[in-house]
Structure 1
């Protein structure tokens, strides 16, 4: 069947795939006057969105990051009801609201629950620090799992504490990213990922209501399995098991898992850069087991139950109650990555027994058997071959950008795995469909790249550093904290800049609580010339001598002096700093936590930038019109002076 340009000359378009991205693109293109046909291999629309006859979302479930999310705007425009459930895109409704059950099958108290998060924060802080160093110094990528094993070995946790840490890692990686750590990039597993406003929402009628509304009025051909796409001739030829279709343009929206399987043949073959990106990127799996009951026998007001009763690597981390969110007596288990793929091989009897153990651990031996169990098998689904995209070892979001690039002016690509701003979510797919509709039609009003949103990595780091500060404040008495705050308030760097002058008392308390206190004796080298800078020092007591390498006069500084805080701007090296007495005490904070603090309190960051300009001006005044040579790792005196202590 041939699809021709319409009377006004708009090119005809074939969209391969009736998931969120394909339907969004087709709807926008049709609205712009294009003749569009959508070819879908399944007998339904939605792709990895599927709401079953009981109203359970077996695929996509949440609007992740409700405020500012284009899906929120879409469902409001369509009149589709939704409810906010909270949380942080980890399906928990927020950790503070989570009911966490431990190895004794009892509900953990707040103190114990907080301690599990504290232990995990320590590991994640170290993990992110190593990833940041690897990015900055351009180290070869390694599996994230390899770094985690190194960190856990160094921590030497008790078996119980390691289980708690693994629990949080499994929430974050296995059940959110949907892949095992050994298949994820240490350097880039979430680098560049933007999130919208805090908290998740659910759709009362399920996500199927959204794709059904988008598909209304479109020419969607179900049961058309595409096997070949040929762009060698003047028009595009798309071959299916039920015949061929011709058009001026083709938009491919099949999942990355299908592209990896090479079940669709491209003539000519895709460019090497695109094929390499497909190979490097990962594609995770998140499966669900839904337990249907006559009525709820669990606490009706609780949204999510945390499960840490058994080996967390073999069991789900959370059990979700659809009674709280949808008024349905259904419990949903999430199983991601290799555990989720393994579950696809279990018999129905095995699944029932496995789920029964979990429910009895949480709610007691008297818990009834479910009336019905539904389950997913996304990796075995030939039209999905997994759930969503992730960043594999040796890959980055740049590969997602490469996958998004058109081939010539007739072959285009969309889908959640083509969205370098955020992948793996419904809004990722929706945005990509609008992006390609704008590209094909030339109508730039159809899509605007996200101008809102925050870095997920930075947001998590900020959350961790604030939790760290709250924890430290509980261990510092009021008098000591006041003394620290006074020291920071006096804080001034060797060039006279008062970095913390703009902070309020509460902000100063947050920062002050984070510093470690370290004593030094006379003659101790606090920093040596040309070592890598790694943290911020504040003189709390006594005096130290700073040697600027000959560019400036040596300086003796005392209480309140701030040293070593320029690592945000370049690969900083230290100058020589030496303790002058036996009564020297310094406050110390590693650069990574300090950077996280600066993201939370950007006024200090702006002062640091102003300070950097001041230092350049001072250096220019010292050197006159002398031109500095390119910086080398073994720096000369001028560069050492610039980098600071």
Structure 2
């Protein structure tokens, strides 16, 4: 790695050699791209505004990662593969990004300074799960029906206002929401899209890991041997005409290159500190405006020796008002053998931290530590803290999906402009954003695009989205909680009803289910009652769940499509309606009716968790269509003649 070399000349290359490339930014995206392009023979120069490489990766002299901290989703993660290839030591700490280290192992401290018992801790999680389930169910409907977007905060407040929660219950719910949003997404719920805040976000295998020598060891290894010009602040990027080089203006003079890769943080692009000539396309500027850029700040408290439980990695803080205090405190003794506690403060609380004096920070952290470990805790030897939103070369921590934004904006941000201006960074990765692997992948993606060598980058092959994984986890906890509350006789009654159920077309949908999958599904249904004349659902309303009649009779009016029917115990309605935008018929209770109900969102999550069952449901659905086709005879489908025309109609 070199710096302060002559910069008032274009990159030299043989006349017929690969095009020269200038990379703006020595974060992991820029370094990954530069290294890959250099290895292919491209003359590459990297300009970096800071006096160090890494960007938002920053391991200080105490060994604390003040920026990026974890490998999120260790198994299958390209960062795991990278650090192993570089022979850098790392250690597995578990968890799932939001609940670093894992919720089960989280020592959650309550207002009395004591750790919450297992039952109370799980009750809080169950309440939060219920709110999050409703939140995601509403978002799913909003996406399907193309409803206007609202903020995540508005949706959360509506759900909480409609529930009968005590103050203590609401405090526990908001604690969990802060863990997931404020300290993971790094932004306030009022600034996040309800419909798309994590839509399509792919995750790798379970469990986080940490770098023993800090993330700085990764970027320094990547930068080794590259031409990196430190302390070069870029002010303008100008594209010339066809065949002309791109000119990049810095406070140390101009650079010329055939192609330029911009890896500036989204916060810097939002600030307008770097201008483009001609201006970036309107679509890209609109994407920059719609996307959010959150802040996650840290306070590191350094001690001579640990005075807290040495085998505990993460402490949860529920001692005071959740919106004013951190949700978690990390112990670096467990992971690195350092007597350091790290507080995470995200979103507006993190930004407010940047305005506090050193005395205010000391008083604040003393309160937190004494609440958790008692009044006799020692004073730290020193305190360090971050200020990412005030940092002119970051303006925040990482991207998020703002209200009216979507992951498509990330994709738009990553698209090249012409044939010589390219963009990379975590905010350009629509597969996942806000992580080191997001940025790293984007750098390889653009190196492949610039060089034409497609072997450099393959899109992520993660098999599940973050939303699906969280939904499945919540579903399994919900089913476990239900089975714990149902008596053996009650569960057996549900299983028998489900096993023998028949839909209106004579299909025994759940007959093939056995064992755990049948017990799990049966436990998830809510039991509801209806008086004579009550309407279970009305004609042409959007289908939203499954009704399983366990006692009594219901009248079904198919709106003239089929004959009116009266169905008795064992009737199943809506079992396949989640596979398309189905509408309901009018279903009315004939007498007293007892039924089991399961909303489609939770049912869909069950099918994600048991893919063999999903295939069975789809097979049954196809069989039902075939039966219907046989009954109707061979007829042309509406619009089928178009297939034989001369082209699109």
Q: TM-score, normalised by structure 2?
A: 0.94
Is the CA contact (8 Å cut-off) linking 2:29 and 2:441 kept in structure 1?
Answer: yes
Gaps of 5+ in 2: 1-8, 640-649
Is the CA contact (8 Å cut-off) linking 1:502 and 1:603 kept in structure 2?
Answer: no
**What is the CA distance between 1:553 and its match in structure 2?**
4.1
Q: How does 1:616-631 map to 2 (within 5 A)?
A: 616-624=625-633
Is the CA contact (8 Å cut-off) linking 1:6 and 1:34 kept in structure 2?
Answer: no
Q: Deviations over 1:211-233 (max 9, x none)?
A: 00000000000011111111124
Give SS of 1:51's match.
Answer: coil
**Which residue does the alignment assign to 1:407?**
417
Structure 1 residue corresponding to 2:47, chosen from 39, 49, 53: 39
Query: Which of 599-608 and 36-45 deviates more?
Result: 599-608
**Which residue does the alignment assign to 2:67?**
59
Within the alignment, does 1:385 sit opposite 2:417 as a pair? no
Structure 1 residue corresponding to 2:337, chosen from 327, 336, 340: 327
Within the alignment, does 1:485 sit opposite 2:480 as a pair? no
CA distance in 2, matches of 1:306, 1:298: 13
CA distance in 1, matches of 2:367, 2:14: 60
Is the CA contact (8 Å cut-off) linking 2:124 and 2:173 kept in structure 1?
Answer: yes
Q: Deviations over 1:521-558 (max 9, x none)?
A: 44443333222212101122234343434444444443
Structure 2 residue corresponding to 1:247, chosen from 245, 257, 272: 257
Give SS of 2:23's match.
Answer: strand
Give SS of 1:378's match.
Answer: coil
Within the alignment, does 1:224 sit opposite 2:232 as a pair? yes
**What is the CA distance between 1:565 and its match in structure 2?**
2.6
**Which residue does the alignment assign to 1:140?**
148
Structure 2 residue corresponding to 1:115, chosen from 108, 115, 123: 123
CA distance in 1, matches of 2:627, 2:414: 47
**Which residue does the alignment assign to 1:167?**
175
**What is the CA distance between 1:585 and its match in structure 2?**
2.0
**What is the CA distance between 1:404 and its match in structure 2?**
0.5
Query: Which of 211-220 and 548-557 deviates more?
Result: 548-557
**Which residue does the alignment assign to 2:520?**
510
**What is the CA distance between 1:592 and its match in structure 2?**
1.4
Structure 1 stretches of 4+ with a deviation exceeding 6 A read none
**What is the CA distance between 1:204 and its match in structure 2?**
0.4
Query: Which of 170-179 and 596-605 deviates more?
Result: 596-605
Is the CA contact (8 Å cut-off) linking 1:51 and 1:57 kept in structure 2?
Answer: yes
CA distance in 2, matches of 1:79, 1:92: 24
Is the CA contact (8 Å cut-off) linking 2:472 and 2:606 kept in structure 1?
Answer: yes
Is the CA contact (8 Å cut-off) linking 1:529 and 1:574 kept in structure 2?
Answer: yes
Is the CA contact (8 Å cut-off) linking 1:359 and 1:367 kept in structure 2?
Answer: yes
Query: Which of 501-510 and 363-372 deviates more?
Result: 501-510
Q: Deviations over 1:356-406 (max 9, x none)?
A: 000000000010010010000000001000000000001000000000000
Within the alignment, does 1:27 sit opposite 2:35 as a pair? yes
Is the CA contact (8 Å cut-off) linking 1:4 and 1:248 kept in structure 2?
Answer: no
**Which residue does the alignment assign to 2:359?**
349
Structure 2 residue corresponding to 1:14, chosen from 1, 7, 22: 22
Is the CA contact (8 Å cut-off) linking 1:551 and 1:622 kept in structure 2?
Answer: no
**Which residue does the alignment assign to 1:202?**
210
Query: Which of 534-543 and 551-560 deviates more?
Result: 551-560
**Which residue does the alignment assign to 1:236?**
246
**What is the CA distance between 1:614 and its match in structure 2?**
2.9
Query: Which of 609-618 and 482-491 deviates more?
Result: 609-618
Q: TM-score, normalised by structure 1?
A: 0.95
**What is the CA distance between 1:99 and its match in structure 2?**
0.5
Give SS of 1:238's match.
Answer: strand
Within the alignment, does 1:592 sit opposite 2:601 as a pair? yes
CA distance in 1, matches of 2:579, 2:115: 46
CA distance in 2, matches of 1:279, 1:519: 49
Give SS of 2:389's match.
Answer: helix
Q: Deviations over 1:471-502 (max 9, x none)?
A: 11121100111111122122332223333244
Is the CA contact (8 Å cut-off) linking 1:5 and 1:248 kept in structure 2?
Answer: no
CA distance in 2, matches of 1:455, 1:5: 44
**Which residue does the alignment assign to 1:276?**
286
Q: Over aligned residue pairs, what C-alpha RMSD do you find?
A: 1.6
Within the alignment, does 1:151 sit opposite 2:159 as a pair? yes
CA distance in 1, matches of 2:304, 2:127: 39
Is the CA contact (8 Å cut-off) linking 1:5 and 1:35 kept in structure 2?
Answer: yes
Is the CA contact (8 Å cut-off) linking 1:81 and 1:205 kept in structure 2?
Answer: yes
Within the alignment, does 1:102 sit opposite 2:110 as a pair? yes
**What is the CA distance between 1:625 and its match in structure 2?**
5.2
Is the CA contact (8 Å cut-off) linking 1:4 and 1:247 kept in structure 2?
Answer: no
Give SS of 2:256's match.
Answer: strand
**Which residue does the alignment assign to 1:451?**
461
Gaps of 5+ in 1: 631-645
Distance 1:618 1:553, change over 3 A: farther
Structure 1 residue corresponding to 2:613, chosen from 604, 608, 618: 604
Within the alignment, does 1:613 sit opposite 2:622 as a pair? yes
Q: Deviations over 1:96-119 (max 9, x none)?
A: 100001111111100111111111
Query: Which of 351-360 and 484-493 deviates more?
Result: 484-493
Query: Which of 373-382 and 599-608 deviates more?
Result: 599-608
Within the alignment, does 1:131 sit opposite 2:160 as a pair? no
**What is the CA distance between 1:306 and its match in structure 2?**
0.3
